[in-house]
């Protein structure tokens, strides 16, 4: 990395970005952090009827936040989502951080349906249809959508300087939106949660792409720390 002071740019929804910034601070990272959400979580207002279900599926913490807690099994995409669900009273079961591992975990546990997949407007894995097809009846309800936001003036200024910028990206959609708002002048060092996130960046010019060791926020933060240490 060039011998100039880097900056970390966080583009997650505001609450998630603040949480990740706190995690970076907990790891002793003192590099300047700028927050510019490129998505906003907007509730759809859909009614969530749990009267006849035996359990639920959560693909994100945003889905957990959208409904009241219940003492029912809740299959969750990863540890952070499971932690959020557990805090609201769900019997949380964590998968390994992506839609395929979530599908596999529900399939392995073979619950009696019906289940309810509480999800965003855009969700990966087509879980309800696939689980229903193999005999685990699963319904779905869209409780939020992600509205695209432009980068802030501060973020645009940072991205047009010569100083390197580290950008952690957690989802293919966020990566695609970030790439669409480019190109940028600053040398970009991107940390991605999965290969799918890296692919969504397309032809955006990058200095470095670092893949987190696990699909979780702590692994992403550790990857940022390694990148900074590599200097």
pLDDT tens for each residue of 7-56 = 999 999 898 999 999 999 999 999 999 999 998 889 999 999 999 999 99
CA 173 – CA 169 distance, rounded (Å): 9
Q: What does the pLDDT read at residue 37? A: 96
Give 57's Cβ-side CA count (13 Å radius).
36
Average pLDDT over residues 211-217: 91
More confident residue, 1 or 129: 129
- Is residue 56 within 8 A of residue 49, CB to CB? The reply is no
Confidence of residue 146 (pLDDT cuts 50, 70, 90): confident
Q: Helix 217-230 vs helix 14-26: angle between axes, to the nearest 10 degrees? A: 60
7-38+149-230 CATH fold: Rossmann fold (3.40.50)
pTM recorded for the entire structure: 0.81
Q: What does the pLDDT read at residue 231? A: 67
Average pLDDT over residues 153-165: 95
DSSP annotation of 156: H
Mean of per-residue pLDDT scores for the chain:
93
CATH node for 42-145: 3.40.50.10090
Q: What does the pLDDT read at residue 2? A: 43
- Is residue 183 within 8 A of residue 165, CB to CB? The reply is no
Boundaries of CATH 3.40.50.10090 in the chain? 7-38+149-230, 42-145
Q: What does the pLDDT read at residue 230? A: 80
More confident residue, 97 or 185: 185
Q: What does the pLDDT read at residue 1? A: 44
- φ and ψ of 90, to 5 deg: -75, 155
Above 90 in pLDDT, residue 97?
Answer: no
Above 60 in pLDDT, residue 3?
Answer: no
CA 151 – CA 25 distance, rounded (Å): 23
Query: 48-85 burial by CB neighbour count: b if 16+ within 10 A, else e?
Result: eeeeebebbbbbbbbbbbbbeebebbbbbbbbbbbebb
What is the percentage of the chain residues whose pLDDT exceeds 70?
A: 98
Average pLDDT over residues 110-115: 94
- Is residue 72 within 8 A of residue 90, CB to CB? The reply is yes
Measure CA 215 to chain center. 9
């Amino acid at each position: 990395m060039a011998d100039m002071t880097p900056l970390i740019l966080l583009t997650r929804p505001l609450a998630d970005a603040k949480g990740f910034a706190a995690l970076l601070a907990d790891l002793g990272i003192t590099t300047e952090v700028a927050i510019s959400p490129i998505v906003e979580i907007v509730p759809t207002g859909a009614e969530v009827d749990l009267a006849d279900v035996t359990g639920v599926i959560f693909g994100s913490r945003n889905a957990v936040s959208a409904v009241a807690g219940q003492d029912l099994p809740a299959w969750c995409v990863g540890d952070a989502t499971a932690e959020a669900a557990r805090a609201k009273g769900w019997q949380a079961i964590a998968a390994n951080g992506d839609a395929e591992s979530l599908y596999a975990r529900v399939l392995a546990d073979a619950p009696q349906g019906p289940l309810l997949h509480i999800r965003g407007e855009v969700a990966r894995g087509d879980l309800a249809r696939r689980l229903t097809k193999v005999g685990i009846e699963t319904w779905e309800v869209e409780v939020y959508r992600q509205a695209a936001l432009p980068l802030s003036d501060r973020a645009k200024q940072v991205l047009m300087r010569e100083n390197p910028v580290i950008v952690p990206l957690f989802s293919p959609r966020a990566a695609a939106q970030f790439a669409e708002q480019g190109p940028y002048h600053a040398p970009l060092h991107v940390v991605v949660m999965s290969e799918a996130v890296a692919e969504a960046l397309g032809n955006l010019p990058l200095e470095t792409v670092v893949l987190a060791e696990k699909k979780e926020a702590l692994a992403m933060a550790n990857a940022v720390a390694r990148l900074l240490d590599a200097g």
